[in-house]
Amino acid sequence: AQSVTQPDIHITVSEGASLELRCNYSYGATPYLFWYVQSPGQGLQLLLKYFSGDTLVQGIKGFEAEFKRSQSSFNLRKPSVHWSDAAEYFCAVGRQGAGNMLTFGGGTRLMVKP
């Protein structure tokens, strides 16, 4: 069975600082990996996805993530955080041939200090 762990429940960063959100997955084969963002009272918006190829993927809003097979990780990064990035971030894993049968992590709530 596939699973996703997001070790940090809450993270607070100052505006303009860099950000890294951690995600570790468990899956027997090559996974499909996703990062979603959820603002309060809203649905989830896809930030980026990894299916194959280049292990560094670029997403919307200046986010990027790196797939590291040896570490079973797919950490999300942003070089300079904006106040509008405050939200909850979810990492998810899917399996090949059924990429949208997603298993989500518990989420990381990001707070941004002015």
Partner 1 sequence: EAGVVQSPRYKIIEKKQPVAFWCNPISGHNTLYWYRQNLGQGPELLIRYENEEAVDDSQLPKDRFSAERLKGVDSTLKIQPAELGDSAVYLCASSLGSDSPLHFGNGTRLTVT
The residues that touch partner 1, with contacts defined as CB under 8 A, are 4, 32, 36, 41-46, 49, 51, 90, 92, 97-102, 104-107
CB of 107 to partner 1, least distance (A): 5
**Minimum CB distance to partner 1, residue 81 (Å):** 22
C-alpha span between 94 and 102 (Å, rounded): 5
The torsion angles phi and psi of 8, rounded to 5 degrees, stand at: -100, 115
Q: Between 14 and 45, whose beta carbon lies closer to partner 1?
A: 45
Whether 61 and 48 have beta carbons less than 8 Å apart is answered as: no
In the three-class reduction of DSSP (H, G, I as helix; E, B as strand; rest coil), residue 80 is classed as coil
Tell me whether residue 17 or residue 61 sits nearer to partner 1 (CB atom). Answer: 61
Question: What are the tokens at 52?
Answer: 């194959």
The least distance separating partner 1 from the CB of residue 60, rounded to whole angstroms, comes to 11
